Amino acid sequence: MHKTVLEALNGASSFLTGKGRDENAARLLLQYILQTNYSGLMMRAHDVLSEEQLELFHSYVEEHAKGRPVQYIAGREEFYGREFLVDESVLIPRPETEELIVCAMDRCRQLFGDQQIKLADIGTGSGAIAITMKKEMPQAQVTATDISQAALQTAKKNAERLHAEIDFRLGDLTEPIKKEKWDVVLSNPPYIAFEEKDEMSEVVLDHEPHSALFAEEEGLILYRKLAESLPNLMNKPGFIAVEIGYKQGTAVKKLFEQAFPGAVVEVVKDINKKNRIVFCKIVE
């Protein structure tokens, strides 16, 4: 049976809405199949899909109806204007993490100007933070770590595709970088408390890697470990920036204030006015 782009889209959107899924997913999946963007899709609204395209589209829509995230079906997600490969070994990059990039770049320029700096991204996942910083600040020497070999493989593929020179290292938190000094350390560690599982969508719970989502001590254990291990690794001046859960600002700020008594530690809100980033600027 022949269907136009618009007919296929309307049918799939209604089907997904009925299953409690986001109807926009249908559009994103069809854009992926037709290798086009939103305006390109609209321009082709009355084009007839081939049988093969229609079959593929239906199979993707069924997959998403069962809960698999669109980004894993398409195998990619956009972050800071670039396309990153993603699979079940890595967390899907989130728009709020782009705010970590913006704030980190602003502070890099304030603190270092155009100097060459040494930057580490701890728990890199898909490589989104490390690669974006390298592309936006080519003078930075960027190292990225992860405890997952599979995640590092994905990150390496992304670095190759996006022509970013990154030193990838396997290991837990600061373990792979502990023999050097760093100007900037960034991290978006797992920070969801196990107690918050019930509040989460099953799309996330059933598909994204739990090791990249959840952390003990009410989600704070990795911030505590970072705060404990970083004092010996930081240059002065230097800074640390970590993404946090919106309820964790006060607790994470306190951890870094205790670890760096002379530092300026601040909690930065995201575009939705929620606490999102803790900055620790070490000046003395």
One domain, residues 97 and 170: yes
Higher-scoring residue by pLDDT: 211, 91: 91
Higher-scoring residue by pLDDT: 159, 201: 159
Could you tell me the pLDDT band of residue 256, with boundaries at 50, 70 and 90?
A: very high
Q: How many domains does the chain have?
A: 2
One domain, residues 143 and 55: no
Domain ranges, residue 151: 88-282
One domain, residues 41 and 167: no
Q: Is the pLDDT score of 165 beyond 90?
A: yes
Which tens digit of pLDDT belongs to each residue from 212-229? 444 455 557 788 889 999
Query: What is the pLDDT at residue 23?
Result: 81
One domain, residues 111 and 147: yes
Which tens digit of pLDDT belongs to each residue from 81-124? 999 999 988 988 988 899 999 999 999 999 999 899 999 999 99
* Mean pLDDT in residue range 167-188: 96
One domain, residues 41 and 104: no
Predicted model pTM? 0.89
Give bridge partners of residue 24 from the DSSP assignment. none
Query: What is the pLDDT at residue 212?
Result: 47
Q: Is the pLDDT score of 43 beyond 90?
A: yes
Distance CA 175, CA 177 (A): 6
Distance CA 167, CA 177 (A): 11
Which residue reads 């990225």 in tokens?
144
One domain, residues 31 and 152: no
Query: What is the pLDDT at residue 218?
Result: 55
Q: Which of 31-35, 109-113, 147-151, 217-221 has the lowest mean pLDDT?
A: 217-221
Position 238 in a domain: yes
Q: Is the dihedral of CA 127, 129, 135, 140 positive or negative?
A: negative
Q: Is the pLDDT score of 3 beyond 50?
A: yes
CATH number of the domain that residue 235 is part of: 3.40.50.150
Position 81 in a domain: no
One domain, residues 95 and 229: yes
Q: Listing from the earlier edge strand, what are the strands of the sheet with 275-282?
A: 166-170, 141-146, 118-122, 182-187, 234-243, 275-282, 264-269
* Mean pLDDT in residue range 42-53: 95
Q: Which of 33-47, 50-64, 125-139, 181-195 has the lowest mean pLDDT?
A: 181-195
Position 73 in a domain: no
One domain, residues 200 and 251: yes
Query: What is the pLDDT at residue 200?
Result: 46
Q: What share of the chain is helix, strand, coil (3-state, %, to 5)?
A: 45, 20, 30
* Mean pLDDT in residue range 28-40: 93
One domain, residues 129 and 27: no
Query: What is the pLDDT at residue 89?
Result: 87
Distance CA 134, CA 164 (A): 6
Q: Percentage of the chain surpassing pLDDT 90? A: 74
Higher-scoring residue by pLDDT: 57, 209: 57
Higher-scoring residue by pLDDT: 167, 250: 167
Position 26 in a domain: yes
Take residue 26 and report the two structure tokens written for it: 């249908």
Position 104 in a domain: yes
One domain, residues 216 and 119: yes
One domain, residues 49 and 99: no
One domain, residues 136 and 242: yes
Compute the mean pLDDT over every residue in the chain, rounded to the nearest whole number. 89
Q: Is the pLDDT score of 194 beyond 70?
A: no
| Helical H segments across the chain, by residue range | 5-18, 24-34, 38-43, 51-65, 70-74, 95-112, 128-136, 149-161, 202-207, 216-219, 221-229, 249-259
Position 82 in a domain: no
Q: Is the pLDDT score of 248 beyond 70?
A: yes
